[in-house]
């Protein structure tokens, strides 16, 4: 639907709505939230809302739940209610495609039990999802990295060691806010990230400008975006070709977008003030560049979120440097 929207301002507004929905609803998968945004765009009349603030505010008034959850609460969809159909993650790997899940807004259901009881707010459910954490990898590595970082923030950053990544403060890179490098990739297939990472053995090195202060968390997430958007090789993936996007601005926009989405969904410290991605996104008259790959960004944001939350496992070095025999 984004690509088919020919009106520049409408396309920009739809991009804003997709971003806002994904960030606001971590109880849905990133793919589900994007699907919901596309289906809700016209019913919510987003093209009539005032700016990004209006879009974000409108989401606070949407109570979208699965039909099963509504039924548990004693509600049923109205006869004429049109379901919002979202993909069903199902058990993986699935032998057959799973049917989509039906969701309905609070305005589309009726209390069949006439209980009149208050239902749990969606906001409390969302807050619990933002605070959910898996198993942490290196909780002490980033303790004291910045005085504004909480224990939770430091523990989330410790998980980047699972891909062999290390973040350090940098004094001499003032021409850039950060620099993501692959100085010491795994030497053989089957290598695992070093147990104690240093600048001499880390597979990935994220050099963060000291002037960023507490924005370092967002900058590290941007560096992760470089990796998961394939702007750097993923050394745990066979034939890890780099992204087709070789435009420096496009690389920055994709990487920052992926990191920004992940941070919003896990409740991490967001970047203060403006940014290259948000400045581009909030331009009401100009959509994101044609070479901005939304599918790549959403997939990368999913992986960054899983890594920082502690849901992913440590990676293993693969045949990443070889030419793909199936790539023309």
Structure-token match 């504004």, residue found: 148
* 8 Å CB contact between 288 and 15: yes
Q: d(Cα 150, Cα 257) in Å, to the nearest integer?
A: 23
Q: d(Cα 170, Cα 206) in Å, to the nearest integer?
A: 9
* 8 Å CB contact between 51 and 12: no
What DSSP designation does 83 have?
Answer: P
Residue 197: strand, helix, or coil = coil
Which range scores top for mean pLDDT: 87-91, 133-137, 281-285?
A: 281-285
What token pair was written down for 56?
């974000």
Reported as a single tens digit per residue, the pLDDT across 50-72 is: 889 999 999 999 999 999 999 99
Structure-token match 């459910």, residue found: 125
Mean pLDDT of the chain: 90
**Which of 145-154, 198-207, 238-247, 284-293 has the lowest average pLDDT?**
238-247
Contacts of 150 (CB under 8 A, 6+ apart): none
pLDDT of residue 327: 46
Q: d(Cα 214, Cα 146) in Å, to the nearest integer?
A: 6
* 8 Å CB contact between 203 and 192: no
pLDDT of residue 140: 66
Residue among 180, 165, 219, 228 at smallest CA distance from 30: 228
What is the phi-psi region of residue 255: left when phi exceeds 0, alpha when psi lies from -120 to 50, beta otherwise?
Answer: alpha
The structure's pTM equals 0.92
What DSSP designation does 199 have?
Answer: T
- Read off the pLDDT band of 152 (50, 70, 90): very high
Please say if the pLDDT value at position 328 is more than 50.
Answer: no
Reported as a single tens digit per residue, the pLDDT across 238-292 is: 888 666 677 889 999 999 999 999 999 999 999 998 899 999 999 988 999 999 9
pLDDT of residue 276: 93
Contacts of 106 (CB under 8 A, 6+ apart): 62, 63, 64, 65
Please, is 48 exposed, middle or buried when counting C-beta atoms within 10 Å of its C-beta (0-12, 13-18, 19+)?
exposed
Residue 4: strand, helix, or coil = coil
What token pair was written down for 257?
């977008």
Please say if the pLDDT value at position 191 is more than 90.
Answer: yes
Rg (CA), the chain: 21
Q: d(Cα 281, Cα 253) in Å, to the nearest integer?
A: 9
Structure-token match 């940098």, residue found: 170
Q: d(Cα 112, Cα 77) in Å, to the nearest integer?
A: 9
Q: Considering the chain, what percentage of its residues have pLDDT values greater than 90?
A: 69
Reported as a single tens digit per residue, the pLDDT across 287-307 is: 999 999 999 999 999 999 999
Q: d(Cα 302, Cα 71) in Å, to the nearest integer?
A: 29
Q: d(Cα 204, Cα 170) in Å, to the nearest integer?
A: 15
What token pair was written down for 309?
């939350």
More confident residue, 240 or 79: 79
Please say if the pLDDT value at position 326 is more than 70.
Answer: no
């Amino acid at each position: 639907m984004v690509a088919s929207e020919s009106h520049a301002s409408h396309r920009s507004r739809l991009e804003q709505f997709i971003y806002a929905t994904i960030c606001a609803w971590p109880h849905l998968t990133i793919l589900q939230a994007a699907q919901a945004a596309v289906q809700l765009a016209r019913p919510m009349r987003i093209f009539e809302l005032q700016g990004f603030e209006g879009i974000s505010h409108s989401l606070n008034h949407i109570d979208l739940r699965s039909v099963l959850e509504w039924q548990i609460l004693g509600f049923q969809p109205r006869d004429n209610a049109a379901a919002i159909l979202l993909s069903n993650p199902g058990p993986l790997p699935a032998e057959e495609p799973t049917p989509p899940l039906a969701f309905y807004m609070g305005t589309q259901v009726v209390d069949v039990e006439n209980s009149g009881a208050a239902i749990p707010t969606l906001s409390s459910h969302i807050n619990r999802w933002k605070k959910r954490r898996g198993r942490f990898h290196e909780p002490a590595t980033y303790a004291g990295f910045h005085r504004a970082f909480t224990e939770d923030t430091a523990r989330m950053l410790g998980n980047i060691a699972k891909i062999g990544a290390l973040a350090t403060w940098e004094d001499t890179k003032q021409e850039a806010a950060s620099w993501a490098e692959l100085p010491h990739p795994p030497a053989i297939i089957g290598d695992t990230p070093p147990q104690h990472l240093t600048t001499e053995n880390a597979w990935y090195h994220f050099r963060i400008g000291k002037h960023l202060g507490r924005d370092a968390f967002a900058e590290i997430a941007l560096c992760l975006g470089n990796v998961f958007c394939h702007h750097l090789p993923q050394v745990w993936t066979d034939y890890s070709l780099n992204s087709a996007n070789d435009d420096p601005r496009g690389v920055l926009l994709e990487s920052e977008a992926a990191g920004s989405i992940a941070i919003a969904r896990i409740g991490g410290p967001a970047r203060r003030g403006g940014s290259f991605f948000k400045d581009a996104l909030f331009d009401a008259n100009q959509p994101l560049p044609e070479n901005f790959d939304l599918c790549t960004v959403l997939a990368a944001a999913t992986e960054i979120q899983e890594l920082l939350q502690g849901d992913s496992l440590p990676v293993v070095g693969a045949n990443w440097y070889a030419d793909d025999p199936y790539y023309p």
